[in-house]
């Protein structure tokens, strides 16, 4: 039965995220007090997605660090620089908006990246490795990049941020790997498929909670808001394109690496970014990050639908198998 439900969720996946966003914005009064649950929903999704990993997989990934380094460079150097250039072009004198755009691209890769990579048959171990390293680097890289571009220091609660990301990513990943090792792979064969539909439900819950958070920002419509939205969408598309192109250029015969780079570079931990923005930046600087919360999951659904159409080679494959032509 759970397998049937999971297949149904797979078919309606492109609609889950926008529907959840709308529901979250409509029921913001009731959902907003439960925003703290997003951390534990993220943790559950990470645990469910990492049940198929093992220590041998990590050894294999770190023996070839090139994909990890490419992802980190694109995440924390290339995309923030592109965002800064776009901000200077479209919002010349608005330093707060430009800061928000750069922050939205400088924050670490998204926790839900793991879900989408697993759904598309990407290299889950590579994705977890990027997320783990990115989580540890984020408290230093994010304020460093903002200081470099804006010549100003941002006082961020680095320890608090690291602790929250550890709860959402590192600990569940290590627990999933430990469970898989102790059960000698039984967790991957039995429990991972059973938990898959609940992981999708958790994704909907996270998106709805994010929608409840951003709802107040959309009460009053302005043309500047529309321009920020268009800029965020364009930056997201460029990030996906950079990740996809890097994977296809560097690892053409490995579908898993291409899929992993596409999503790890294209997605961000917007929830963490929103906390940083609303805590340490003015409201105007937080707005681009909050808008990105609306865009990210919908864009992920669209990328999931069109990924195979970008090339004549079908990309849905596991990291253990090379690309194959399809009829």
Q: What are phi and psi of 324, to 5 degrees?
A: -135, 145
3-state helix, strand, coil in the chain (%, to 5): 80, 0, 20
Q: How many CB atoms lie within 10 A of CB 129?
A: 24
What residues contact 2, with CB distance under 8 A and at least 6 apart? Answer: 193, 194, 196, 197
Which structure tokens are listed for 44?
Answer: 């559950």
Which structure tokens are listed for 57?
Answer: 């997989």
What is the distance in angstroms between the CA of the first residue and the CA of the last residue of the chain?
31
Identify the DSSP state of 62: H
The pLDDT of residue 246: 94
Prediction pTM value: 0.75
The pLDDT of residue 161: 62
Which structure tokens are listed for 309?
Answer: 């159409």
Decide if 53 contacts 176 (C-beta within 8 A). Answer: yes
Could you list the pLDDT tens digit for every one of the 327 residues in the chain?
777 777 777 667 667 777 887 888 888 889 888 878 887 887 888 788 778 777 776 677 777 789 999 999 999 999 999 999 999 999 887 888 888 899 899 888 877 787 788 878 888 888 888 887 887 787 778 777 777 776 554 555 656 766 776 787 778 878 888 888 888 878 878 888 888 888 888 888 887 887 787 677 666 667 888 899 999 999 999 999 999 999 989 887 788 899 999 999 999 887 667 767 766 677 677 788 878 877 887 788 788 777 766 644 444 444 343 443 333
In angstroms, rounded to a whole number, what is the distance separating the alpha carbons of residues 121 and 214? 31
In angstroms, rounded to a whole number, what is the distance separating the alpha carbons of residues 63 and 101? 34
The pLDDT of residue 294: 75
In the CATH hierarchy, which fold is given to the domain comprising 66-195+222-308?
A: Na+/H+ antiporter like fold (1.20.1530)
């Amino acid at each position: 039965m759970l397998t049937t439900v999971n297949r149904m969720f797979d078919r309606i996946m492109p609609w889950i995220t926008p529907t959840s966003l709308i529901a979250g914005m409509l029921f913001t009064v009731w959902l907003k007090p439960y925003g703290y649950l997003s951390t534990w929903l993220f943790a559950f999704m990470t645990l469910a997605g990492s049940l198929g990993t093992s220590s041998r997989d990590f050894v294999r990934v770190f023996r070839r660090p090139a994909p990890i380094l490419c992802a980190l460079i694109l995440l924390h150097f290339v995309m923030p620089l592109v965002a800064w250039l776009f901000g200077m072009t479209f919002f010349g004198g608005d330093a707060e908006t430009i800061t928000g755009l750069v922050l939205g691209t400088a924050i670490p890769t998204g926790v839900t990246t793991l879900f989408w990579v697993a759904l598309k048959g990407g290299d889950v171990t590579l994705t977890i490795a990027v997320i783990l390293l990115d989580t540890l680097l984020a408290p230093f890289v994010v304020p460093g990049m903002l200081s470099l571009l804006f010549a100003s220091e941002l006082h961020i609660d680095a320890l608090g941020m690291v602790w929250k990301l550890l709860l959402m990513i590192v600990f569940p990943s290590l627990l999933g790997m430990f469970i898989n090792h102790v059960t000698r792979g039984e967790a991957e064969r039995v429990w991972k498929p059973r938990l898959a539909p609940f992981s999708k439900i958790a994704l909907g819950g996270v998106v709805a909670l994010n929608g409840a958070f951003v709802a107040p920002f959309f009460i009053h419509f302005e043309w500047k808001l529309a321009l920020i939205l268009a800029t965020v969408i364009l930056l997201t598309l460029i990030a996906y394109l950079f990740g996809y192109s890097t994977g296809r250029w560097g690892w053409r015969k490995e579908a898993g690496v291409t899929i992993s780079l596409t999503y790890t570079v294209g997605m961000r931990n917007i929830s963490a970014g929103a906390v940083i923005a609303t805590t340490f930046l003015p409201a105007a600087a937080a707005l681009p990050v909050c808008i990105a919360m609306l865009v990210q999951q919908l864009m992920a659904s669209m990328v999931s639908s069109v990924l195979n159409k970008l090339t004549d080679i079908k990309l849905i494959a596991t990291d253990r198998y090379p690309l194959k032509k399809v009829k």
